[in-house]
Amino acid sequence: MTTFTADSVAELFTAAVTLVKSGAKVSPRGMPTREVLAVTMHLSQPRARLLYAPPARVVNPAFAVAETV
């Protein structure tokens, strides 16, 4: 089992991205992807849960509202 502990979601996200490269190759529904099993993540500072997206990514405000609702 792999466990990650970090103070912010950004740190957990970075750890998860590096971990995905080591996952097993699978093809559910004919779409190639990687699968990583037995991973837990612990966010030690729950208020630091906002992940800032890179400037190249455009966030749709209507989608953000729908997700919140």
Note whether 45 and 8 are within 8 A (CB). Answer: yes
53 vs 68: which has the higher pLDDT: 68
Of all helices (H) and strands (E), which one includes residue 61?
helix 61-68
Average pLDDT over residues 45-69: 80
Least confident of 4-8, 19-23, 46-50, 52-56: 52-56
pLDDT above 80 for 3: yes
pLDDT above 80 for 29: yes
For all residues of the chain together, what is the average pLDDT? 86
Of all helices (H) and strands (E), which one includes residue 6?
strand 2-6
The structural domains of the chain, with segments of one domain joined by +, span 2-68
Report pLDDT for 25.
Answer: 92
Q: Strand, coil or helix: what is 24?
A: strand
Nearest Cα residue to 7 out of 66, 48, 38, 39: 48
